[in-house]
Amino acid sequence: MTSALKVQFLTSPAIRRAPAVPGAGKDGRLRQARFARSKGRLMIRAVVNSDQNKAAMETTVTKSSESKDVNGSSLLVASSSSSNKEEGVFDVRAVITVRKKMKEKLTEKIEDQWELFVNGIGKGILIQLISEEIDPVTNSGKSVESAVRGWMPKPSNSSHPNIVEYGANFTVPSDFGKPGAVLITNLHGKEFYLAEIVVHGFDGGPMFFPANTWIHSRNDNPESRIIFRNQAYLPSQTPDGIKDLRREDLLSIRGNGKGERKPHDRIYDYAPYNDLGNPDKDEELARPVLGSEERPYPRRCRTGRPPTKTKPLCESRIEKPHPVYVPRDETFEEIKQNTFSAGRLKALLHNLIPSIAATLSSSDIPFTCFSDIDKLYNSGFLLKEDDQAVVQNPFVVPLMRQVLSVSERLLKYDTPAIIKMDRFAWLRDNEFARQTLAGVNPVNIEILKEFPILSKLDPAVYGPPESAITKELIEEELHGMSIEQAIEEKRLFILDYHDMLLPFIYKINSLPDRKSYASRTVFFYNKASMLRPIAIELSLPPTPSSPRNKHVYSHGHDATTHWIWKLAKAHVCSNDAGIHQLVNHWLRTHACMEPYIIAAHRHLSSMHPIFMLLHPHMRYTLEINALARQSLINGGGIIEASFFPGKYAMELSAAAYKSMWRFDMEALPADLIRRGMAVEDPSMPCGVKLVIEDYPYASDGLLIWSAIKEWVESYVEHFYSEPKSITSDVELQAWWSDVKNKGHHDKRNEPWWPQLNTKEDLSGIVTTIIWIASGQHAAINFGQYPFGGYVPNRPTLMRKLILQENEPDYEKFMVNPQRTFLSSLPTQLQATKVMAVQDTLSTHSPDEEYLGQVNQLHSHWINDPEVLKIFNKFSAKLEEVENVINKRNKDVRLKARCGAGIPPYELLVPSSGPGVTGRGIPNSISI
């Protein structure tokens, strides 16, 4: 045996010789997997005995036959020979699928050729098959090992040219049983991406080991990687031969909570949001820790970076372009990376527009007329040669020239859907109201249950609790109906941001060029089935001279009142945009989803049926959240620069988590009932009846919710048929405990957490999580540019309060109300920056995976015909849902989604193509 093949992993002082197995190679020996405990932790050691014959390492196929894989391509597959059967052994062959980079540098291509050569001669990858059967000698799974060697004639999946396949041959004893796991050891100096392993030659056809994982180099981590077969097992059903491997894999993923994480790690642990600020760089960039009794918050994935020098409780930051750690398999795949990079480039190009304007004018400037905004879509911003000479920044000039040399159209925005068919729609009250039901933030409108409207804030601090909206004012708009009758008939609704925002208004308004109110907006649902706003209250903190600092506005009938009403609506939209982004989008989907994902990896084995069910809904979320902490929600980041709360943005998000977030209310039916937008009705499919039938988010959402619920319930019923099977599932119970006690640590003692004792409990919990990751996120994310891309429709901040008659600039407003309105909106720099971000966040990647669909490369996700049958039923149900939504969008009776110039409501249509389509439900929060 050559020295290169005398391999021992995690070398031990004493190595037992593997016991002889009759007929296995010339000396009758097989490599065995030996397990030993070290420092209280199970370690894996793959041992090669020094006196083994080289022929045992280089087992060959005695007879092969050609078979077809799932894609119809030919594979050379090992089959048993009669002579070997008589000797008590047979031959099998593993096909190892490795995915290479799509775009490679020259040096990477040279490295790949060397890697191909090394793998081809059997010196690059070692593979062990671990049986589900126990070896009585080692008391662990039976094992055979081989080196990966040789190349397949061609990739079996020809549609993916970056796929490379290798073979590994094994001689297996006849009593080996079925392989349940594979150990992979990477002898190369760098990692590689393992897509799948298929083992041919066992009875019952090929066996699939889906991996879709990065295999670390032995130089980075000497432990072998464990890949399990696509067979789902509850912990109590785990075959004896792979029980230890199941436990060991979970231990390795969980880590010990110490040290700084390295890029190759795949360790999932928790940390508070203590990395948003950068006090070492600038005291102005210091931000409070989120995740404490004072500021509760969900936990993020731990990176273990050292603390900052000036604030020991804060973690030091890694700035772009260096990546923030996430477990290795959570990072974007190459297609997604390219799309996101292109999106960031697009944002950079868009930022050139206002940057150039600001440079030429020496200041950031407001829009002076609506044609300034229209230019962003119609003609774009073109640079003249003499303009370029004015810009002195040596880094900007080459970039501008590069842009112009490619195409002047790069400085042009797509026309947002909200003005594409009707450029004046945003001015109308009915459109303002329609967007509370069918816009990008349709989750805050609620029924008005009682009058007068009262605040729950401390009156000693925030003044009298009664709203300034009077009964008389409302009844003027009710066409003869009393306010009591309107409430009884469920015709009055409210968008109420008063209590959430008022504690922050003084601080926000102390920031330069930020002026906000805490708003309340009352709507009336008339007998024509139309929702319209009838009163807006804008509140400021009380002062000694104005203890009741509240202003009420209505649409009125004269020109002055109309313009003031437009400004009041703009302030409401600014409140709505900030709450949407920081609470409903970031907190309730992105941030709250992260603990479910971390806990699932820490406590649910990859062969656990609930892990298999949740896995598609966890894709990319940790990576996009890490990128958000680095560039979007960080101190001085894009959200602070572009939305009204400024540096207090994440504190506002934490306050919302403290006051209103609870898991049991994140289920769609429960949320609708909480807001009074639905009532319980057992005769309805989801047990609820909508108060406003023409509520597109809710009516379409309930179709998606129902389909997910049916799929999950059938899946759970399939695996948990035995009594007490839920309570006896140690992994499942540990997962849910981790979610509550660690992932949402600050709310661990709340009484509303669902129990996990029955199949109904489990189905409800999992349905909610899948809904949040798919339908809920899609509904509030992918409409950001279609609705927010036109600044007057949805300003993300306001720079001026509404002028009062006794103020000096009131006369300027009377002379030119349009200029006053536009100067109150975000500046050109602020507006174009947030438009670029919204455009990026609204974009579907080409590799997006949608609800009810399975990526071809992940087609072997589970070996269970009954589950696949249930899944196909779920997919068919979603196709029906899509047809129903398409019909609804053509129903003229549904005025919230159909009418002259009204864009159809497609945010909950399940399928989509790439780009900013305003439709499609990805499986996971991936952008």
Determine contact, residues 907/778, Cβ cutoff 8 Å. yes
Peptide bond into 452 cis (omega under 30): yes
Residues 6+ apart with CB under 8 A from 105: none
Give the whole-angstrom CA distance, residue 303 versus residue 317.
10
Query: Which residue's entry shows tokens 């303002």?
Result: 432
Tell me which of 216, 555, 580, 590 is the catalytic residue: 590
Give the whole-angstrom CA distance, residue 51 versus residue 53.
6
Pairing label, strands 207-215, 192-200: antiparallel
Give the whole-angstrom CA distance, residue 56 versus residue 146.
8
Tell me which of 633, 862, 925, 927 is the catalytic residue: 927
To the query of whether residue 350 is one of the catalytic residues in this protein, the response is: no
Pairing label, strands 531-539, 41-46: unpaired
Angle at the Cα of 409 from the Cα atoms of 407 and 410, rounded to 5 degrees: 80
To the query of whether residue 562 is one of the catalytic residues in this protein, the response is: no
Query: Which residue's entry shows tokens 């190009």?
Result: 349
Residues 6+ apart with CB under 8 A from 567: 802, 820, 821, 824
To the query of whether residue 601 is one of the catalytic residues in this protein, the response is: no
Tell me which of 188, 555, 571, 585 is the catalytic residue: 585
Give the whole-angstrom CA distance, residue 713 versus residue 763.
5
446-481: b or e for each residue (b if 16 or more CB lie within 10 Å)? bbbeebebebebeeeebbeeebbbeeebbbebbeeb
SS3 label, residue 444? coil
Distances in whole angstroms, Cα of residue 382 to Cα of each of 325, 407, 410: 40, 10, 10
Burial of residue 430, with CB atoms counted within 10 A of its CB: 0-12 exposed, 13-18 middle, 19 or more buried: middle
To the query of whether residue 617 is one of the catalytic residues in this protein, the response is: no
Tell me which of 584, 781, 889, 923 is the catalytic residue: 781
Tokens of 151: 């190349």
CA atoms within 13 A of residue 638's CA, in its CB half-sphere: 21
To the query of whether residue 162 is one of the catalytic residues in this protein, the response is: no
Burial of residue 638, with CB atoms counted within 10 A of its CB: 0-12 exposed, 13-18 middle, 19 or more buried: middle
Tell me which of 188, 216, 601, 777 is the catalytic residue: 777
For 100-228, list the strands marked E by DSSP. Answer: 125-135, 140-147, 149-151, 163-173, 179-186, 192-200, 207-215, 225-228
Catalytic center residues: 585, 590, 777, 781, 927
